[in-house]
Amino acid sequence: MELRKLGTSDLFMSPIGMGCQQFSKGIGLAGKQKKNLNDYEIFNIVQASLEVGINWFDTAEEYGWGESERSLRKALNHTLEKPIILTKWFSHFRTSKSIIDTIDFRLKALGVNCIDLYQIHNPTWVSIKKEMRAMARLVEMGKIKYIGVSNFNATQMVTAYESLGELGLPLISNQICYNYNYRKPEEDNTLSIARYLEIGIIAYSPLDKGKLKRDVLTWLTDKGIFAVMGVSSPEQVYQNIC
């Protein structure tokens, strides 16, 4: 797969990436939504992903409360490749102070010194400006390279973009649900505004939980959108990409 630049970053990523919610080992609400995979199955999915040219993996603190991150680290420990890692801060029931207080747990779980792209998982009642200031501090500390958001609507995305701009930093991405059946990001102008501001869009649930065929991945990537898919076997990796 031909690599593309994400937003205004220097991250060159494959148009399709691998989501890692299914690496949660059945832990937590997010883990219970997916098939419980063992380490061997996870390794095979990671290996198949790398073989077809996927060079980034998207995980989150909420996925098994760190178990997905740890499972990804274990699988990558057995490979020579060093792919781009995306993860997310769990934003519910927390203040922006937690962004800095919990970062070392994320680094330890992933086994890295710096996270390539750190995302706010969801907008909440917490001030977006305060969240962006905390994320900017992590960039200054060298613990994350770039800042992204997830599930932000157009207005929230612009607030994050402007808040970071005041600090001299870019908002690199917004990860949202978008597929052929769910077109709200078109209707509320999230896509057009992101394009204008050079914010990369990462679409999760691109196949709408198996309701759509794999050609939707091409439909998305032809629009310049990055698609993150989740699979439960290496065979599904090959079916969707090859």
pLDDT tens, position by position, 49-82: 999 999 999 999 999 999 999 999 999 998 888 9
Task: Look at residue 242 and tell me whether its pLDDT is greater than 90.
Answer: no
Q: Determine contact, residues 201/176, Cβ cutoff 8 Å.
A: yes
For the chain, give every domain's residue range. Answer: 4-241
Q: Which helix (H) or strand (E) holds 149?
A: strand 144-150
pLDDT-derived band at 1 (thresholds 50, 70, 90) equals confident
In terms of Cβ atoms closer than 10 Å to its own Cβ (0-12, 13-18, 19+), residue 32 is: exposed
Residues 6+ apart with CB under 8 A from 48: 234, 237, 238
Fold of 4-241: TIM Barrel (3.20.20)
Q: Chain centroid to CA 149: how far?
A: 9
Tell me, what DSSP letter sits at residue 140? H
Task: Look at residue 136 and tell me whether its pLDDT is greater than 90.
Answer: yes
User: Mean pLDDT, to the nearest integer, of 91-110?
Assistant: 97
User: What number of helices (H) and strands (E) belong to the chain?
Assistant: 11, 10
Residues 6+ apart with CB under 8 A from 22: 34, 35, 37, 45, 230, 231, 232
Distance (Å, rounded) from C-alpha 120 to C-alpha 142? 18
Task: Look at residue 16 and tell me whether its pLDDT is greater than 90.
Answer: yes
Task: Look at residue 128 and tell me whether its pLDDT is greater than 90.
Answer: yes
More confident residue, 30 or 185: 185
User: Mean pLDDT, to the nearest integer, of 102-128?
Assistant: 97
Residues 6+ apart with CB under 8 A from 126: 91, 94, 95, 96
Task: Look at residue 239 and tell me whether its pLDDT is greater than 90.
Answer: yes
pTM passes above 0.95: yes
